[in-house]
Amino acid sequence: MSYIKRMQFIVSSTALLRQLQAISGVLNSSNTLPILDNFLFDIKPGKASISASDLETTMTTAVEVTSEEEGAIAIPAKMLLDILKTFEDLPLTFKVDTKTCGVELTSEAGKYKLAGAHADEFPRTPELEDATSVTLNSDTLAEAVSRTLFAAGSDDLRPVMSGIFFELRNDHLSFVATDAHRLVRYARNDASAPENAEMIVPKKPLNLLKGTLPMTDEVVVSFNEANAHFKYGEMDLVCRLIEGKYPNYEAVIPKENPNCMTIDRKDFQRSIRRVSIFANKTTHQVRLSLAGSSLKISAEDVDFANEAHETLACSYAGDDMEIGFNSRFLLDMLNNLDAQQITLELSAPNRAGIIRPQHDGENNGEDILMLVMPVMLNA
């Protein structure tokens, strides 16, 4: 398309700022390519499509504008965000010289000039060929991401664990995250995909999704072996997928767990938070002692002679047992559940424990399983 030399458009300052802030999370603080420090504006009559990219992830949104012309320009992101934050809600006029890439911004208060860049320098968003598509409720996807993302790993040597594993089946959907010390599986039995498929989505685009997903619209997810495209409302997010085969997570979930404790989640959470203050600062170990209808939680740091003990009432069926866990992992899991009661299923002191929420009645098709590996107890 041939663009004219001069281009002008008018836009609401607050509407523009809202959309730019929604996609600004894509921007990196330091980029190898200077063009990535810009927003790409693609102007059509009545509408501007605006993109931000870091090469791995590209996010595009749209805002209404008054314009008779078509054209494209890259505008410095930080400077534009900074000036927009200072305005009340008012119309702003952008005048662009597409040859020199000069941008003149006019408001009631005055004029501001900044140097843009040629739109052709901005990386093209990849087109997805031979893509598989599935439509999800946005609240289902938002819930899946928020329940699992905290458990994803950050080890560069194991990149497949640094995202969420989407396991799409024709009778259910599962979303899994693990860092080898803990694992979370969020499944929906009330949703499905037209065909069985799998992908591993990195953390960054998922955090962006979590922050921008509306709670009413549907999300169309399209993907092939290399990329995924999430389309919802005025937003488009395209990201590169993590290559590799996800570990067989089912193999690490103990199937026989005869020892089961049911306890008030908030009581358990508060107790662990208090007791863990006295734990060793390297291992963060807390000891759970289960017998009858009581749970004893204790921690100690022998180097500093710190220790703490608490006792909570619980419902427990099984053999008396002592098991140690990293308190940070336990708290992460309890913080990411909202059920009043949870169960902790155990088989042996050296086997993983499984935390599940206890729902009264309807659970909206959710099935949440959180697995945490034990730590060796000190004698």
CATH 3.10.150.10 range(s) for the chain read: 6-121, 132-249, 253-372
pLDDT tens, residue by residue, 327-347: 999 999 999 999 999 999 999
More confident residue, 297 or 377: 297
> What is the CATH superfamily name and number for domain 132-249?
DNA Polymerase III, subunit A, domain 2 (3.10.150.10)
Q: Is 101 left (phi over 0), alpha (psi -120 to 50) or beta?
A: left
For 231, the token pair is: 């389309």
pLDDT tens, residue by residue, 137-183: 999 999 999 999 999 999 888 999 999 999 999 999 999 999 999 99
CB 217 within 8 A of CB 233: yes
Cβ neighbours, 10 Å, residue 113: 10
Categorize the per-residue pLDDT at 1 as very low, low, confident or very high, splitting at 50, 70 and 90.
Answer: very low
Domain boundaries 6-121, CATH class? alpha beta
Categorize the per-residue pLDDT at 274 as very low, low, confident or very high, splitting at 50, 70 and 90.
Answer: very high
Sheet of 259-264, strands arranged across: 197-202, 163-168, 173-178, 182-188, 366-372, 353-358, 341-346, 259-264, 315-317
Which candidate, 27, 14, 9, places its Cα nearest to that of 78?
27
Q: Is 140 left (phi over 0), alpha (psi -120 to 50) or beta?
A: alpha
Report the C-alpha gap between 91 and 314 in whole angstroms.
61
Residue 75: what residue type?
A: I
* Whether this model's pTM surpasses 0.75: yes
CB 265 within 8 A of CB 324: no
pLDDT tens, residue by residue, 211-262: 899 766 899 999 999 999 999 999 999 999 999 999 999 999 999 999 999 9
Q: Does domain 253-372 have CATH number 3.10.150.10?
A: yes
